A and B are shown apart, each in its own frame.
Chain A
């Protein structure tokens, strides 16, 4: 099966590298010309920054055999239509990306989004029938330090969840193939046959909780959890998000989530600044707020579920990320 990775930034390149390492026939499509040229010429320099028992061990591979293109039209001229196309753009750019990718998409092509956050599926469904659509998300840190090089920093445990938006012959076939390539390539991926939305929601809720609250408070996860006010904030987000997930057809119990999923996060990564802190505090760049708390608030509004905490946190993060240059900072 011919797979296209549309959007080959840090995450797209890492996901593609696992698939290629697992034997996939894969092309990359990205406008980042220097990266595309380097990978086509020398292959992908793929580093897995593995942590085992507190010690880091780097697995380094030079993966040949990628064909790269800077546009879907160029890709179509050489490759024709693809069997599977995976979108790894920014969530805000997904619709435009699917439109731009049309040349390589045929009536039998299966579309895949592994982009973080909520609402990517709805954008996919504008172009792909549900029985030709996969959704999922990765649980991996990724980086692209220079053109032709990508780094994966798996956190331990599950690294990828995906599944068909609905089960069909087409989605089953695509899932089976992706599962084999990911696994053979060294990525601990899971095909969630009947409950992919359960996993998507869980990841979104974790991110909407610790990412957003820690970024606004400028504290690590464990520091917020240790403060009674901070803990209330965490719980409030979880309660709103679980209510919305449940109303959207993915039943999640907030008390259960707090006792298990949230407790695990605090235990495992309490001493870290989550990724939105890195976006907001360290790099002053745009965050994923709109596909996290923003989307929860949006769904809540549609469904008549109160989500004031998510709504106002979204506004707070917007007010901050739209005004980094005017913010107080300490020398």
Chain B
């Protein structure tokens, strides 16, 4: 009975999935918040302005993906999970000193505890370039942000 109750509670926990609906030009060598303009689902309406602020305390599986491209050559690409305004996990950090290509499919995941009231999660990206301007692709398959409660507090 206890297990069934727990599963029922988790089944109703917050979950969302969103993706970038417009291309986002970013400044090189600058931690930039990724904008996710389209929601695929948002069960508790906890995803607002590309920020996830869950209203249920617990442990959340977070998945972030980005599709950088652009003119010129990248020298480093990092994908960051921010919690409460600062870096919580560096999901990817790739130096590409000998490549002229952006890594277009760039993703990672982590577990984040949220207190159900003030804690919030955002997705940031950092790209340094030898030349050119990086752009984040608007595509549900490349640039996405998802989270779901997987364990209660």
B partners with A: no
